[in-house]
Chain A
Amino acid sequence: MQKSKSQYSIRSNYQYVFHNLKQKEGGRVFRICLGNLGTGICLPFLEAAMPGAVTAALIGRGGSEALLFAAGYMLLLQSVRFWQNRLQHLQREVLFSFRVETSMDFYQKCVDMDVQYLESEAGKRKMSRAGDNLFSGNEQGIEAYAQAFWDMLLNLGGLALYSVTIAKRSLILLFLLMLQTGLSGAVYFWAGRREYALEQEGETDWQHFHYLRRESIAPGNGKDIRLYRLDRSFAAAFGRTIERIVTLRDQGRKYVTWAGISEQVLTFGRNLIIYVYLLVQMIHGQMSLPAFLLYMGIVSGFGAWMSGLFDALQRIFQNQVLMDGYRDFMDTGTVKEEGTERIIHPGRIHEIRLEKVCFRYEGKGEDTIHDLDLVIHPGEKLALTGLNGAGKTTLIKLLCGIYRPRLGRILLDGQDSALLSREEYFREFSVVFQDVSAFSFSLEENVSCRQQGRTDTERLKWSLEEAGMLERVQRMPEKERTMLNRDLDEEGVSLSGGELQKLMLARALYKDAPVVILDEPAAALDPLAESAMYEKYDEMIREKTGIFISHRLSSTRFCDRVIFLEKGRILEEGSHKELMEKRGAYAELFALQARYYQKKKEAKEL
């Protein structure tokens, strides 16, 4: 459990937090926090000293003077309380805004990160840990971390004030108090850590609980749940998970209860000694009643400061892990920082050459792409095919620069892509990926991928038209300004799988890059729409290089050259005709698919 040595010291983390805090919220935030600190220290002291002070006035002064004093004291107390409350609220507000604003830095970093890294297990973990620092509410993460610092100062301040007051009377008393509160604090600290450790253990149960919560009512799951009586499976799973969570929490709570009981016992012993000591002093006439009352207040308040201090420290340590994760992510290098060479012919058709390219996913024992040589000529129409898992999608991610080869080089017009500015390199590709999904922003933004007001309307129309989507868009309530999905807009429109695929195609056309890559672009289209797309393909990628991926071999018919991949290597290549004549793996697979479409007699034999 969180035993890993922290990379960043607490000091450096706080420097980081305060630097950013100042940058985002200005100097005001420190004035608020200092004010809160001051009033927060004074208020308990004034409250504790009140009985003694008023009693002194009552005993020692005349009636009206005592009344005046009491009134004055009460007014002072109430106004400090009022200000303390206000400043506390303000501090919470400003730290909350700080967290929300910090999320913008995080988003920017997510966008700039290297995707290959983000997709790896390590990258995913790092990103999600960094996200936890921001999105776990205000009791965990960066906001709580900043808050804990001020709480620590507050309790230190209170402790100092009380200590000085007591030390004036007797150092032994102070020592006793320190001893007891230190001991109970340590016990609480220990119990808290045990509880926290158990909570970490229960993390998977929680994840499972949230998973069940989500999936049991997720739209689209209802059909299967009803037809397969999965409600019973869910009920059983809920029962098991809750049982585990409750048991674990109960165990954790046990430590805290025992810590509480031991604190009660320690306090009892301490009070006994201290009060007897004070009483003895009184008996000897060395202490007045008001003084006795003051010390009673101070003694009983002392523990609160100490436990507050331990609590703040505990929060600092707990959130230290989250802060580390966050800074680790923010300090990781980004794509923007690598590759500086300019592309010689931006926006023109390119020759792409792969030389002995190897690629392996992190944690995998073997290469997904192995020792692959391939030249894609300018303007060529290439079909990439093979069985599931042959490496088709990986290969195109290598081609368009999302992944980098483990060994070997990819050359764009003879320039090594590793040395090129990645941002510029990306500009040369329009890709329709296999996972189609649209962001819940406006349709226009989803196609042009530009900020509001920067979309070229004519081009948008053209690309929607070409993708066969224009008619549908014009039927939408706000046309191209319509919001997609209902995450951010209740009136948003949800698209079907086929429509999404067309939208992705429109996006690729809008970008108008010299290399167009389509990964299974017809999987969700019906036969007529699929066929229409194939027929338009030529026109769509005229004077561009086109790469078409599909395991439907029919799509290879309109490509100049077919690359048949198997286990990350090129098994066969050539035109459809050549490959059929070769009677190799490609021909075999083609026959397998084609036989259903053959005349009746052959089909019956199946």
Chain B
Amino acid sequence: MKDFQRVHRIGLRLLKMIHSVDSAILPLHFLEAVFSVARIYVTLFLTAALIDLLQENSFEKAIRQLGMLLLAEIFLGIMGLLLKKRFRPLKTRLWLLFYVWLREKAFALDYETMENPESGEKILFSEKTADMHGGLGMVLYHYCEILRAFLHLGVASLLVAKLCLAKPGQQEGIWAGLAEPSVSLLLFGVALAGMAAGSACVYRKFAARQREIFEEHTGMENRMGYLAEQVFMNEKAGGMIRIYNMGGMLMDNAQRETEGMLSYSKKICEVSREESEANKLVNGIFSVLAALLAVIKTVAGAVSVGGFMRCMGAITQFGNACFMIVDHNGELKKICTYMQEFLAFLDMENLHNTGSIPVEKRSDGEYELAFEHVSFHYPKSRELVLKDVSCNIHIGGKMALVGKNGAGKTTFIKLLCRLYEPTEGRITLNGVDIRKYDEEEYQSLFAVVFQDFKLFRFSVAENIAAGYEREDERIWQALNGAGAKEMAEQMPRKLDSVLYERTEEGCGISGGQAQKLALARALYKNAPVIILDEPTAALDAKAEAEVYADFHKMMEGKTGIYISHRMSSCRFCDDIMVLDEGRIAERGSHEALLAAGGYYADMWNAQAKYYD
């Protein structure tokens, strides 16, 4: 019972969400269900009447009856079609909005929460189960079917009751006895109870088994998808596969995965086949018993031949309706259990409070940023990436952040931009803990080009203006600043050319070009602090020199922070901070550090010696 409540609480919440998309969806579905049920019974009644008229040889009336039957059929049929046409597009929209809602929530959640792979998996799980078992549309569908079944049950019960209560005619003896209302009720009661018990039993037995199997093998489809898309159909890996003759190894893995998939699907199929067989059996027994009841009544003269036909129809519908209610309720339970994950994701709360203080807008860019004893480890690990880091960031200066792979450079930047919060210590802006500022306002201080920056399949203008107002003039300025103006001018549709699109008008761009566009996006943001993480990794020497040459111009009046493996970039910076294993190992000007002969000097010389 509790289970029942839980399922339908979820179900009703989902129905409400559906209703909020378009208030016409639910009434339209309701109407369609009514029409479709009406159509069946109108046909049933008119046909039965027709048969009786024919048996009485009143042909004139029969023809009139026939006309009514046909007219009713065509009217109700067309109404149903029109209703369906009306709600089809709504259903498509609903289906797609489901994915969008998940993403809207993902965007609203803080970075740390979303970066946790579990959050991503939650989304994927919600989507996968919705794809497999049906999402919002199927919830709606099952509720409609249940409604339809109840309508059927209502009408069919009346007809069955009428059949049972009909008094036998003139016949005598055994038939009259068998056709007595009390006996009929008993017979029908037995059939009904048998069916109820049977389907409850089937349901109990199979629901548990299905869940077991599902939990055991989640993600099998994903695994197949991985093999197909990332391994065998990944033409980029083709060369590697040939050179290293990996075919045997890959096929071996594919074979293993395929066998796993087959044995899983075999189990799933077996369970669902056995379930449907058991249900067919239960339903079949009911149908036979109920049909016998109708025959007895007819033989005893309690109902006419036409009445017999009507009752047979009603009994069939009755059995189906009972079965449908159990079946669709079971399906709803399954879907709602999965949809619970979806709702739980929508209900997720941010890990951290977003502050509220506005950031003081200063035209002179006079901000003061400081790390105070900041330590940090990523949520899933215990290893400290930053250890007790304290430093000031000189505003208006150019700072370089150097260190080995894994020294904590990118983490430092992520903390500074408030993508993560320090595990210990605090970061301050003008002496105030950055957590107290309004998140969006605080983040508007920074424009970052990350090492793994992303551009998207939008137009050039949309990629550069991003979430900010589009002003073409400023876009061209930013492009110019990043050295990408010429490239954009050569694109077929200039600013409106869509990147990475696979049509004739779309533009494939090289890694170097993408880097320039990402730079332009950062410039367009017009933030007082610009951070570049490995800005020239994909560029060749000539392009690298060009970018460096423009740096000063680009950075005028702004604070710049660079991260690079190319030690050469340090030459532009008046302040160099060397990170080693999460601590600040050294800090100072290039000359001072070189003279100190420490870790920085080692790294510098490691590269410089080749250029002597």
Contact = CB atoms under 8 A, between A and B. Distances in A.
A402 B239 contact: yes
A439 B250 contact: yes
Contacts of B603: 526-528
Interface in B246-273: 246-255, 257-258, 261-262, 265-266, 269, 272-273
A111 B250 contact: yes
A327 interface: no
Contacts of B368: none
B239 A268 contact: no
Contacts, number: 406
B103 A282 contact: no
A253 B276 contact: no
A56 B120 CA distance: 65
B540 A111 contact: no
Contact of B272 (A89, A289, A450): A89
A245 B59 contact: no
A111 B241 contact: yes
B406 interface: yes
Contacts of A235: 100, 104, 107
A118 B242 CA distance: 12
Contacts of B84: 257
B606 A388 contact: no
A606 to B, nearest CB: 7
B239 A272 contact: no
Contact of B265 (A82, A100, A496): A100
A422 B602 CA distance: 46
A525 B54 contact: no
A429 to B, nearest CB: 6
Contact of A213 (B99, B171, B458): B99
B78 A264 contact: yes
B92 interface: yes
A478 interface: no
A55 B309 contact: yes
A219 B114 CA distance: 8
Interface stretch (A13-21, A67-75, A162-170): A67-75
B103 A238 contact: yes
Given A253-B85, A452-B252, A597-B567, A437 B269 contact: no
Given A229-B467, A498-B405, A606 B265 contact: no
A487 B405 contact: no
B512 A441 contact: no
A7 interface: no
A245 B100 CA distance: 14
Contacts of B78: 261, 264
A449 B235 CA distance: 18
A115 B238 contact: yes
In the complex, which of the residues A135, A224, A267, A279 has the most CB atoms of chain B within 10 Å of its own CB atom? A224
Interface in A551-606: 551-555, 557, 589-590, 592-594, 596-598, 600, 603, 606
A232 interface: yes
Interface string A218-253: 011111111111111111011000100111011001
Nearest to A96: B265
Interface stretch (B285-293, B328-336, B390-398, B426-434): B285-293
Interface in B214-241: 222-228, 230-233, 235-241
A227 B447 contact: yes
A110 B233 contact: yes
A112 B458 CA distance: 36
Contacts of A387: 540-543
Given A104-B251, A433-B239, A275 B66 contact: yes
A454 B510 CA distance: 40
12 contacts: A79-B284, A103-B228, A104-B255, A222-B115, A230-B456, A232-B467, A426-B243, A431-B240, A449-B249, A488-B257, A526-B565, A528-B606
A219 B120 contact: yes
Interface stretch (B149-157, B295-303, B487-495): B295-303
Nearest to A107: B232
B405 A124 contact: no
The 10 residue pairs across chains A and B that have the minimum distance between CB atoms: A229-B467, A554-B610, A596-B568, A78-B284, A594-B611, A231-B107, A228-B466, A531-B606, A115-B238, A232-B467
B467 A233 contact: yes
A223 B448 CA distance: 9
A427 interface: yes
